[in-house]
Amino acid sequence: MLLDGGTAGGRRLLSRTSVDRMTTNHLTAHQREIGALFLEGQGWGYGGQVDVAPAAPWNVPGRYGWVGGTGTAGHLIPSTGTVTLLLTQASLQSPTPPPVMRDFWRCTAPAAA
């Protein structure tokens, strides 16, 4: 539904404006700088992370999603139509993602053009 601009099965569930606001960074450069340990090339939309800088191979400007403290992650890449989901039972032990998440993101990153 989010990849389709707020529609699913031919029905509009969210306005295009709502989807745009959810998936657009709303942090200032200063806010991103002081939160760099947590953000790693990302900003924050209304409800999830939004990649704004290619800080790692998986950071694709426009990608958005969520990383949960219980070891779950889900991201969408509108430019490729990719949806990735990682479900583990390994809680995060620090503000930075564990190796299993980084390995997953590396393996699911779009191939370089």
For residue 110, what is the DSSP state? P
Under a CB-based contact definition with an 8 Å cutoff, are residues 29 and 79 in contact?
no
Q: What is the pLDDT of residues 33-59, one digit of tens each?
A: 999 888 889 999 998 999 998 888 888
Taking the model in full, what pTM does it have?
Answer: 0.82
CA distance 50 to 38: 13
CA distance 101 to 113: 23
Q: What is the pLDDT of residues 8-40, one digit of tens each?
A: 999 999 999 999 999 999 999 999 999 988 888
Return the domain boundaries, the chain: 7-108
CA distance 101 to 88: 9
